[in-house]
């Protein structure tokens, strides 16, 4: 049943335009980067073409996790030094990676005609090559992160059972809801001891969101604390079997029939970045 749902994801991806999904958290170290690369791999293995972006101004450490160090990033592309093809690093079949460097922020300072042209090319490149673009974001409520997350079709929030992580996840949802009028959120609880613990944490976040915001939080599921992962990351192989299984189940709960916004993702992002700069 799980595979069937992911197959649907693939079909949807082929019929509609590129989907943009971002992974964010209030507190750091909750597992965003690990979830992003594993999510990319699972979606890719189901026949979708996936691009992972560290929407992290170079701090995401995706490259460290994967053991690759791209010499050029989106910033160099925006500066006209390289083509997009030159900054995209293939990881495996259907899965590629692009480092944003300070690229996203740099967009705002470009002259309008150059910018329009770039936005058009980015949009066109993504539509031509990818079903999904996944953004790994830095923790917290930095304005670039708020712009990225609220421009995406699917905003995924990650927390762990730590009270500070839960409080910060709520804080992030609240800011996105109040400042960016984002309503729908998808929650993953990582590093749990049991699925009951995950459900309890989701429920506590859902209740405060319902009381104090207009945000609607959907529960995607939990991932167990798994000490094997640390060893694998040391060996720069972030793909662990148990983690993959749990994340595959989580992915079947994502909305498969996204209605694209009237304006394109990149245009929307730019408008938001400008407003916030
Ligand atoms: N389910 C898990 N079980 C055990 N360890 C985990 C699990 N998920 C993540 N980790 C570990 O937690 C640490 C932080 O993970 P990761 O770098 O993905 O977090 P992050 O949210 O991207 O951090 P940052 O906010 O700094 O970008 C890593 O050492 C990773 O191996
Ligand atoms: Mg990270």
Domain enclosing residue 152, as ranges? 2-159+238-276
Helix orientation angle between 143-151 and 163-180, rounded to the nearest 10 degrees: 70
Could you tell me if residue 167 is inside a domain?
no
Distance CA(144)–CA(132), nearest Å, equals 20
Expressed in angstroms and rounded, the spacing between residue 131 Cα and the centre of ligand 2 is: 23
Q: Is the CB of 25 under 6 A from ligand 1?
A: yes
Check pocket membership of 226 for ligand 1, CB cut-off 6 A.
yes
What tokens were used for 19?
């989907």
Residue 223 lies in a domain: no
What is the layout of strands, in order, in the sheet containing 50-54? Answer: 89-92, 95-99, 50-54, 132-136, 19-24, 154-159, 184-192, 216-224
Which residues contact residue 145 at a Cβ distance below 8 angstroms, ignoring those fewer than 6 apart? 24, 55, 137, 138
How many Cα atoms sit within 13 Å of 206 on the Cβ side?
15
Measured CA to CA, the distance from residue 148 to residue 127 in angstroms comes to: 18
Number of domains in the chain: 1
Whole-number Å distance, alpha carbon 264 to ligand 1 midpoint, is: 31
CA-nearest of 38, 96, 25, 47 to 246 is: 38
Residue 238 Cβ contacting ligand 1 at under 6 Å: no
Query: Is 172 among the domain residues?
Result: no
User: At 19, which helix (H) or strand (E)?
Assistant: strand 19-24
Q: Is 36 in the pocket of ligand 1 (CB under 6 A)?
A: no
Q: Which atom of ligand 1 is nearest to the CA of 243?
A: 1
Report helix angle 32-45 to 2-15, nearest 10.
Answer: 80
Instruction: Say if ligand 1 is within 6 A of residue 198 CB.
Output: no
Please give the pLDDT value at position 103.
60
* Helices and strands of the chain, counted as H and E runs: 13, 8
Dihedral sign from CA coordinates of 230, 235, 241, 246: positive
Q: What is the pLDDT of residue 192?
A: 98
- Which residue, 158, 129, 143, 127, is CA-closest to 260? 127
Q: Is the CB of 191 under 6 A from ligand 1?
A: yes
Mutate to test the pocket of ligand 1, among 26, 29, 244 (most ligand atoms within 8 A of CB): 29
233 inside domain: no
Atom of ligand 1 nearest to the CA of 30: 21
Q: Assign residue 77 the CATH number of its domain.
A: 3.40.50.300
Residue 213 lies in a domain: no
Distance 81 CA to ligand 2 centre (A): 27
Average pLDDT, consecutive stretches of 10 residues, N- to C-terminus, the chain (277 residues): 51 63 96 94 92 72 78 84 91 91 69 78 87 91 89 95 98 97 97 98 98 97 93 81 94 73 78 80
Tokens of 264: 């394109």
Verify whether ligand 1 is closer than 6 Å to residue 137 (CB atom). no
Burial of 256 (0-12, 13-18, 19+ CB in 10 A): middle
Tell me, yes or no, whether 20 lies in a domain. yes
Q: Residue 93 has which token pair? A: 């079949």
Q: Cβ(234) to ligand 1 under 6 A? A: no
Which of ligand 1's atoms lies nearest the C-alpha of 34?
18
Q: Report residue 51: phi and psi, to 5°.
A: -115, 125
48: left (phi over 0), alpha (psi -120 to 50) or beta: beta
Distance from residue 171's CA to the centre of ligand 2 (Å): 18
Establish if 204 belongs to a structural domain. no
Per-residue model confidence (pLDDT) at position 267 = 85
Beta strands in the chain (DSSP E): 19-24, 50-54, 89-92, 95-99, 132-136, 154-159, 184-192, 216-224
Domain-embedded: residue 184: no
Sign of CA dihedral 57, 58, 59, 62: positive
């Amino acid at each position: 049943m799980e595979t069937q749902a992911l197959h649907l994801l693939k079909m949807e991806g082929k019929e509609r335009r590129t989907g943009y999904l971002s992974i964010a958290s209030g507190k750091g170290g909750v597992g965003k980067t690990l979830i992003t690369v594993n999510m990319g791999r699972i979606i890719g293995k189901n026949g979708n073409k996936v691009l992972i972006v560290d929407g992290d101004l170079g701090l995401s450490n995706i490259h460290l996790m994967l053991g690759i160090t791209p010499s050029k990033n989106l910033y160099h592309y925006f500066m006209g030094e390289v083509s997009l093809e030159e900054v995209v690093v293939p990881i495996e079949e259907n899965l590629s990676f692009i480092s944003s460097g300070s690229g996203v922020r740099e967009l705002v300072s470009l002259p309008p005609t150059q910018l329009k042209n770039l936005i058009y090319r980015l949009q066109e490149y993504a539509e031509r090559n990818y079903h999904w673009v996944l953004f790994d974001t830095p923790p917290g409520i930095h304005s670039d992160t708020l712009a990225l997350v609220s421009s995406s079709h699917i905003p995924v929030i990650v927390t762990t059972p730590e009270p500070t992580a839960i409080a910060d996840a709520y804080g992030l949802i609240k800011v996105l809801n109040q400042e960016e009028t984002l309503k729908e959120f998808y929650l993953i609880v990582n590093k749990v001891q049991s699925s009951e613990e995950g459900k309890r944490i989701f429920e506590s976040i859902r209740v405060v969101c319902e009381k104090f915001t207009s945000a609607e939080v959907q529960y995607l599921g939990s991932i167990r604390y798994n000490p094997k992962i640390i060893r694998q990351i040391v060996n720069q192989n972030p793909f662990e079997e148990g983690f993959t299984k749990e994340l595959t189940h989580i992915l079947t709960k994502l909305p498969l029939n996204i209605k694209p916004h009237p304006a394109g993702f990149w245009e929307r992002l730019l408008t938001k970045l400008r407003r916030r700069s």
